[in-house]
Structures are given as C-alpha cells and as structure tokens.
Amino acid sequence: MSLFSAVEMAPRDPILGLNEQYNADTNPNKVNLGVGVYFDDNGKLPLLQCVQAAEQAMMEKPAARGYLPIDGIAAYDAAVKGLVFGADSEPVKSGRVATVQAIGGTGGLKIGADFLKKVSPNAKVLISDPSWENHRALFSNAGFEVGTYAYYDPTQRGVNFEGMLASLNAAEPGTIIVLHACCHNPTGYDISPEQWDQVIAVIQAKGLTPFLDMAYQGFGYGIKEDGAVIDKFVAAGLNFFVSTSFSKSFSLYGERVGGLSVLCQDKAEADRVLSQLKIVIRTNYSNPPTHGGAVVAAVLSNPELRALWEKELGEMRVRIKAMRQKLVDGLKAAGVQQDMSFITTQIGMFSYSGLSKDQMVRLRNEFGVYGTDTGRMCVAALNSKNIDYVCQAIAKVM
Ligand code: PMP
C-alpha cells in the first residue's frame, strides 16, 4: 500500500485537453479555436518587434541573474501602475497604490486571493456566470466559497444587465466581486461605460470589494480606452484590486509576466498592504523571475519601444476585428440564414458563437475545427487562410 494509493485522477483541464486532441488530429485542415492565444495571419504565435528590440539590447549588455526583490523589478511595478492608473494620476502620485510583479495574471489573482483571505476570511466571492474557469478554482483553493452573479443572456445575445445588478444588490456587504475589466472571457460581451457607472454605484452602496481582472488591456478599444474603467473606480473613491497580464498584450505567454495592484486609502496603508503582499509571495515562491519582467519594463519605459508596442498591439486588435467581420460575412456567404452580426458586437479574443455542445462536437469530429463545448471560439486564431474553411464547417453544422 502506497501513500498515494487513494489518490484519485483529477479531471483533465478542459482547454488543455482540447489541445491534446487537436495535436493528435490528422485532419490536414484542422483549426484550433480552443485556446485563448493570438496568432498572426500566418497562424504563427508572434514574437513582437518591441520585445525583440528589448531582448537585443539586453543581450548586448548581459546581466547576471541575482534574486529580484520580493515584489519584483521596481521599474516594472512603476510601469504597471502607469499603465493601469496613469503615471500622472492622483493614486500613483500620492503613493496609495501597492503593486507587485506576479507570475502572469493568474499569479496576480492568486496573490490577491491569498491576501484577501487574511483580511476578510469570511467573505464570499462572486464571479460572472460564466467566467474564465480558473476564477472559481483559484478563489476556492484560496479557501473562499465562490458563487456567481448573472452575466450572460443567451436569448438576448448579450449581458443580462438587470440580472447582474440584482445579483450584486443581493450580495452581502464585503463580498468580493471578480469583474472582467474588458474583453470578457468567455462571452466577448462587455458592459457599457454607463452600465459600469451603475455597477460601481451598487458596489459602493452595498460595501462590496471589487477585484478587476485585466487580462486583455488594449484588445478592446485601445490601451487607454480599456483602462478607463479603472478611472471610474478611482473616481468613486473605492478601494479595489486589479490583476494585470501581459501574456497576450506582449505575446509573452510563457514568460509569465503579470502583476497585482491594490488601491488603498493613503500611502501609509499602501505600505502596510505591500508588506503583506510580500509575505504572501515570500511564502509561496519567494520572488519572481527576471526575464519577462525586465523585457516589459524595458519596453514600457522607453518611449520608442513603447510606441512600437502600442502599434503592434493595435495591429493585433484591428486584425481580430477584421476576422470578426469576415466570419459574419463568410457565414452569410456559406448560406447561414440566421443573423450572425452579434459576432461583431463582441469584443476581445473570444466569441460565444451560440452553437450547442452537439454542434461543437460535430465541428471537431467532422471538420477538425476545435472550440470549447460551451460554443466559445478564439477569433484571434482565425486568419485569411482558415476563415473560409471554418465558415463552411460552421454552416454545415448549423
Ligand atoms: N484572466 C483571464 C480572464 C484570462 O483569460 C487569463 C488568460 N487566459 C488570465 C486571467 C491569466 O492570464 P496569464 O496567462 O497571464 O496567467
């Protein structure tokens, strides 16, 4: 009898499982719309020019790899603050933002969740219905009871906003509300600026704790435009959490570059919060890795490289939007009667296609087109070569 004889096999990660199935598929026309990764028009994962330029400069002056501070590279944390709140904003200037470098956006969420468990151990967490699957697992594993607030309305093809407000209104004071700052994953439906105002009013009135997950800044309408929601929370005088991910916006998935920012009442409070975030990090993995953070800090703090990054990110955003339009046009041309124009009202990397599980399974088995069973497709993996095939395949299962 071994110590592990009673250990059960954990279920496979649904998306990574889909990837394995895709890799094993021998269909020469196969298309992977499962995983949330941006590919260029040649179906390749891009290595951004701004990243290459920063790495080139780093290679010319090779540096030894000492430990980083627990909270990461100071210039990186400053760059994250600048991006999220604005470098000249009141919260940044007054020093009331505590920011740490994190291992991807996931790491930022995890540090925030562990810290929250210390400061409000009895709080509940609400995530959107549906949400990025890891939100539930991550907050549950941090010891929280996780519920949902209403979000997606399949009949309206959009956000059930009345339902969302009702869920928030019914939440107990102190409940942690995980919100997608922009480019909602998986649905692709965001709420409008006016709706954000109403959400913020309820959060304020009910004393809820907002946790904004910003994994796609720049993929919606622009870096500044997507960040505008943060300004609204600041203007409302709220204390809140923001996790940042550069996985997609810098195409640095494997470097695990992200962050966590906590907006506090004043600098003294931010100093105390930072000291506690550092304990969470220290007791989990001690300190973050060097390379990805150094690259992002170099790009964001150099005006030329930053402009190049904004241009490259803009090109990704524009290409995704063009693919949405091509998808709508292509489905019509392939004979789909139903109005599919909702695809262009969605934003970010994903589209909730409205296809059923059966249709998604047929797409996979008969055509080698891989999306999740929920009907989610990654529009950022469509390109001028695979779009017609995908449209034909979808038309055949509809
Ligand atoms: N939040 C959301 C909503 C995401 O979609 C993702 C990435 N799929 C993350 C967080 C995590 O990002 P990272 O890969 O940087 O950990």
Residue 15 pLDDT: 81
Residue with tokens 């210039």: 75
Q: Residue holding tokens 């219905």?
A: 129
- pLDDT for 79-114, tens place per residue? 999 999 999 999 999 999 999 999 999 999 999 999
Q: Write down the pLDDT at residue 14.
A: 79
What span, in angstroms and rounded, lies between the C-alpha atoms of 243 and 107? 8
Q: Which amino acid is at 275?
A: S
Q: Which residue reads 């649905």 in tokens?
A: 187
Among 153, 156, 155, smallest CA distance to 166 is for 153
Tell me how far CA of residue 249 lies from CA of 50, 185, 236, 296, 315, in angstroms.
12, 15, 28, 10, 11
Residue of 185, 216, 251, 255 to mutate, ligand 1, most atoms within 8 A of C-beta: 185
The ipTM, to two decimals, is 0.99
* Distance (Å) from CA 341 to ligand 1 centroid: 27
CA of 314 to the centre of ligand 1 (A): 19
In the reported structure, the alpha carbon of residue 106 is separated from the centroid of ligand 1 by a whole-number distance in angstroms of 6
Q: What integer is the mean pLDDT of 229-243?
A: 98
Residue of minimum CA distance from atom 7 in ligand 1: 215
Provide the 8-state DSSP code for 214.
E
Q: What is the pLDDT of residues 136-150, one digit of tens each?
A: 999 999 999 999 999
User: Active site residue: 71, 114, 213, 226, which one?
Assistant: 213
Residues 259-272 have a mean pLDDT of 98
According to DSSP, residue 12 is labeled P
Percentage of the chain with pLDDT > 90?
97
* Residues with a CB atom less than 6 Å from ligand 1: 36, 104-106, 132, 180, 185, 213, 215, 245, 247, 258
81 Cβ neighbours under 8 A, 6+ residues apart: 87, 92, 97, 99, 261
Rg of the chain in Å (alpha carbons) = 21
pLDDT at 215 over 90: yes
Q: 388 an active-site residue?
A: no
Predicted confidence (pLDDT) per residue in 324-338, tens digit: 999 999 999 999 999
Q: What is the pLDDT of residue 13?
A: 82
Q: Who's near 151: CB < 8 A, 6+ residues apart?
A: 128, 129, 130, 131, 159, 160, 163, 164, 184, 187
Question: What is the chain's mean pLDDT, rounded?
Answer: 97
With the most atoms of ligand 1 within 8 angstroms of its CB, the residue from 35, 245, 250 to mutate is: 245
pTM: 0.96
Average pLDDT estimate for 309-322 = 98
Substitution candidate for ligand 1 out of 37, 132, 217, 352 with most atoms within 8 A of CB? 132
Q: Provide the pLDDT for residue 16.
A: 81
Residue with tokens 């789909």: 336
Q: What is the set of domains in the chain, with CATH numbers?
A: 14-46+310-397 (3.90.1150.10), 67-301 (3.40.640.10)
Please give the number of the atom of ligand 1 that sits closest to the Cα of 106. Answer: 16
Direct distance between the N- and C-terminal alpha carbons of the chain, in angstroms, rounded to an integer: 52
Find the angle CA(365)-CA(368)-CA(369) to the nearest 5 degrees.
110
Which residues lie below 8 Å from residue 39, measured CB to CB, with a gap of 6+? 45, 46, 380, 381, 383
Alpha-carbon distance of 265 to 247, in angstroms, equals: 30
- Closest atom of ligand 1 relative to the 103 alpha carbon: 16
Q: Is the pLDDT of residue 385 over 90?
A: yes
Yes or no: say if 327 and 390 are a contact pair by the CB < 8 Å rule: yes
Q: Residue 335 C-alpha to ligand 1 middle, in angstroms?
A: 35
Give the per-residue pLDDT at 378. Answer: 97
Only one residue has tokens 């009702």, namely 166
State residue 17's pLDDT score: 85
Among this protein's residues, is 132 annotated catalytic? yes
Question: Among this protein's residues, is 213 annotated catalytic?
Answer: yes
Q: Is residue 314 very low, low, confident or very high in pLDDT (cuts 50, 70, 90)? A: very high
Pick the catalytic residue from 81, 110, 117, 248: 248
